[in-house]
Structure 1
Amino acid sequence: MTSEFDPQTAAWAKSTHSGPEGGECVEWVPAHASLTGMVPVRDSKRPSGPVLMVSAPAFAGLVTLARTAEL
């Protein structure tokens, strides 16, 4: 398996806490994160928009913040 990343063919995932209307959701690619330690993140409302690549620890921090903070 290669570490090349293609956002068009990647298997994007989003939180099971996301409602059907979407709204304020981000998506990520678990397989790429497991393979490389870098987590692709994008806005679920703009699937063809930009992709932010963050380290696994940074993504974990983002998830913790989203779970615990009043945003």
Structure 2
Amino acid sequence: MPIIEVNLLEGRPPEAKERLIQALTDAAIDAIGAPRESVRVILREMAPAHFAVGGQSLAAKAAGAKQVKVEEDWSDDS
């Protein structure tokens, strides 16, 4: 029984997650001949604050990018 675990950042619509589940199930069937009813898919969603790259959470990185954009908008003299 294949068990496929996927970690995702939260925010995707339910339809997108259903497509992912179907595609992963189909891939397991095609790759190893697993019976459809034996394929298990686990989706784990996490907040951007709970995932980091290079020592900075994605939430902090996004907040920094918004701050830079606001500063650029205010300093634009055109």
- TM > 0.5: no
**TM-score under structure 1 length normalisation:** 0.28
> Which of the two has higher C-alpha Rg?
2
Structure number with higher relative contact order (C-alpha < 8 Å, ≥ 6 residues apart): 2
**TM-score under structure 2 length normalisation:** 0.26
